Amino acid sequence: MGQFFKYTLASFVGSCLLLLLLGVFLAIGALGLAGLLLTGLVRGAPKAEPAKNTILVYDLSTAIAEGPTRLEMGTHLLGGASRSQLSLRRAVMALEKAAQDDLIVGLYLQGGDGGVGAGLADQVDLRQAIATFKASGKPILAYNTDWNEQQYNLAALAHPLYLNPFGSIEMNGLYAQTMYQAAALAKLGVGVQVTRVGKYKSAVEPFLRNSMSPAERDQAQQLLGDVWQTLVANAVQARSLTPQQLQTIANRQGLLFGTTARSQKLVDQVAYEDDVITALRQLTKETDDDRESSDGDQSFRQITLPDYARGLTDDLVNRSASAQVALVYAEGTIVNGDAAGAWGQTRVIAGNTLARQLRQLRQDQAVKALVLRIDSPGGSATAAEVIQREVHLFRKAGKPVVVSMGNVAASGGYWIAANADLIMAQPTTITGSIGVFSLFLNLKTLGDKVGVAWDGVKTADLADIGSSTRPKTAQELGILQRNVDLIYDAFLDRVEAGRHLPRTRIAEIAQGRVWSGKTAQRLGLVDELGGVNQAIAKAAQLAKLGDRWQLREYPQTNDWQQFLGLFSSSGYGQLGSDPLSSQITLWLADWGLIKTLNDPKGIYLLMPYTWQIN
């Protein structure tokens, strides 16, 4: 990636953000900020406890994160933090414990306009936990004005499942598209050159083409088909339907409105929200004289899933044992170097920082096994190798390593997973993408158009090989392609050594192609299907620990992070969802993307696209 282009844009965005942040601080005022900080510390994070006959409410838009919430002041003040964020393990634990809690009489799955706050792989864990609640015999109710496929994936387990009379169920299949920019870049005068290995390594195609390549269409269609089949199978199991019925609906109707959705058995009842509230109040045995809030008929005795989870004790963490199983979260794009500072992005995997954490755990005599939870599309090839080396040394020290794949563990995410003793994924995990690319932009034509030129001196022919002010020569592209080829061969080496597959077989299923977890297991890239809790149990089993061990989660939140958590729970420090703060959040996302492109060789192990399903 052209360094001039990247850092010029980064400098511009950074300057804008600095000015905006200064404005925020000046608006708050030093005295007001001090008061807010003090209030956050005094209030703390309240631990709500349910009363008798309480409904557990799971708002499906609740943001489900891989590990404990980690906040940064920059994104926190600018509205990037969610007050309803909850880690996957605690969400699952809360649902399972509520099933046995005598104070909880039912579960309410609340829809809304926010979609589902959990990725498709995380939904597998959540769905299993909801099924555990259902098996306890306690009722599950669900209501929304409009249900989409992902919401329905969880809500289908409810009975009764409600739909607003003027609402609908979206059951029209899944759709994914990519924006292609080759023509636009050509008009602007931005040149694009690439080196890559793997015919399916299509991350560079949006810059080179104006439509999908046949290879990209093939892999996208199969991946989307695998996900759709899983969603259909879940709905069929929960609602006593057939796959043919749902596929016919998707092909011919797409949206089922009100009573039509009920007649085709996708919902149980058509009702308004106040009717649902009445049903919930019957479960809590409340009368008109028992209303506990000013909401009147809209109130019932309830506790939210995040609040309920906050009051629970994690039995694995609070065990008394000297032996430990370390659960390390690797979440985000892989970047070279150390973790960002207080104003940086949280969803990155800094190669040196994660490697240092793994080294410390390897050298800790109390740590007997490692579970590496990966949710990453990849990133820097250099950083991925730094992390992979520590995974290798962990195993060499005689401590088993189990990789638990989250929603995505592809490209560089798979590189750091390949050498584990055991790899576990969910059927809808996106993985594989064993391929390498490098992308080079140049501004020569754009400069000619606007009257800008570059000139300089050098001491060797290749001194300016990294310049973004001119196209690469054929000789230079040949040198860069050889580097990419070497990295790709090394990738195949890591997979061959870790997965014990024949080299010819690996070469066949690599080529930069992404796979679903279900297909990856069949191909041998994944060993077993299962979630993070199953991975923890497997790690303890491989280390032969019996029940004499406790769990420790890393990275651990420091005092600053804990304070920001208290600050968040007090209700302060967020700008809300007004247009200005929303735009600032978008700028932060762009700034974070720019910062992740920092591999010293400009070589990336990155998934072909950001996977969003509609």
Task: Give CA–CA dist 90/491, Å, rounded.
Answer: 35
Could you tell me which residue, 106 or 595, shows the higher pLDDT?
Answer: 106
Residues whose CB is less than 8 angstroms from the CB of residue 160 and which lie 6 or more positions away in sequence, other chains included: 141, 142, 268, 269, 279
Q: Flag whether 121 is in a domain.
A: yes
pLDDT of 351 strictly over 50: yes
User: At 80, is the pLDDT very low, low, confident or very high (cuts 50, 70, 90)?
Assistant: very low
Average pLDDT over residues 362-377: 96
Q: Evaluate if residue 19 carries a pLDDT over 80.
A: no
Q: Which DSSP symbol is given to 204?
A: G
551 pLDDT tier (thresholds 50, 70, 90)? very high
Domain contains 577: no
* Rounded-to-integer distance, Cα 614 and Cα 212, Å: 18
CB 82: neighbour CB atoms within 10 A? 17
- The CATH number of residue 154's host domain is 3.90.226.10
Q: Is residue 360 part of a domain?
A: no
Q: Is residue 145 part of a domain?
A: yes
Task: Using the predicted structure, report yes or no on whether residue 502 has a pLDDT greater than 80.
Answer: yes
- Could you say which of 202, 411, 467, 468 is catalytic? 411
Q: How confident is the model at residue 11 (pLDDT cuts 50, 70, 90)?
A: very low
pLDDT tens by residue, 233-275? 999 999 989 999 999 999 999 999 999 999 999 999 999 999 9
Q: Which pLDDT score is estimated for 601?
A: 67
Active-site residue 467, yes or no?
no
**What share of the chain in percent tops pLDDT 90?**
59
Distance, C-alpha 595 to centroid of its chain:
18
Q: Does residue 395 lie in a domain region?
A: no
Domains in the chain, number: 1
pLDDT band at residue 290, thresholds of 50, 70 and 90? low
In a domain, residue 342? The reply is no
In a domain, 453, yes or no: no
Q: Which of 97, 138, 201, 595 is catalytic?
A: 201
Residue 146 has pLDDT above 50, yes or no: yes
* pLDDT tens profile 185-217: 899 899 988 888 888 788 888 888 899 889 888
> Over 80: is that where the pLDDT of 376 sits?
yes
The pLDDT score that the predictor gives to residue 613 is 52
- The pLDDT value recorded for residue 437 is 84
Per-residue pLDDT reduced to its tens digit, 461-498 = 989 888 898 999 999 999 989 999 999 999 999 999 99
**pLDDT class of 411 with cuts at 50, 70, 90:** very high
- Which whole number is the average pLDDT over 433-450? 88
58 is a domain residue: yes
Q: Is the pLDDT of residue 279 over 80?
A: yes
Question: Is-contact 64 102, C-beta < 8 A?
Answer: no
**How much is the pLDDT for 176?**
83
Looking at residue 87, its pLDDT comes to 93
Question: Considering the chain, what is the average pLDDT of its residues?
Answer: 83
Lowest-confidence region among 26-30, 430-434, 554-558: 26-30
pLDDT above 80 (res 36)? no
* Mean pLDDT of the region 525-545: 97
Q: With 70 as the cut, is the pLDDT of residue 446 above it?
A: yes
**C-beta separation of 323 from 548 below 8 A:** yes
Say yes or no to pLDDT of 42 above 50: no
Distance (Å, rounded) from C-alpha 158 to C-alpha 145? Answer: 15
What local confidence, expressed as pLDDT, does residue 466 receive?
A: 87
Q: Domain of 283?
A: 48-172+253-310
Catalytic: 201?
yes
599: helix, coil or strand?
Answer: coil
DSSP class of 368: E
Tokens 């192609």 found at: 513
Q: Three-state SS string across 260-309, please?
A: HHHHCCCCCEECCHHHHHHHHHHHHCCCHHHCCCCCHHHCCCEEEHHHHH
% of the chain with per-residue pLDDT over 70: 78
Q: In Å, how far from its chain's centre is CA 507?
A: 28
**Which is nearest to 427 in space by CA: 266, 234, 609, 148?**
234
Q: Does residue 316 have a pLDDT over 60?
A: yes
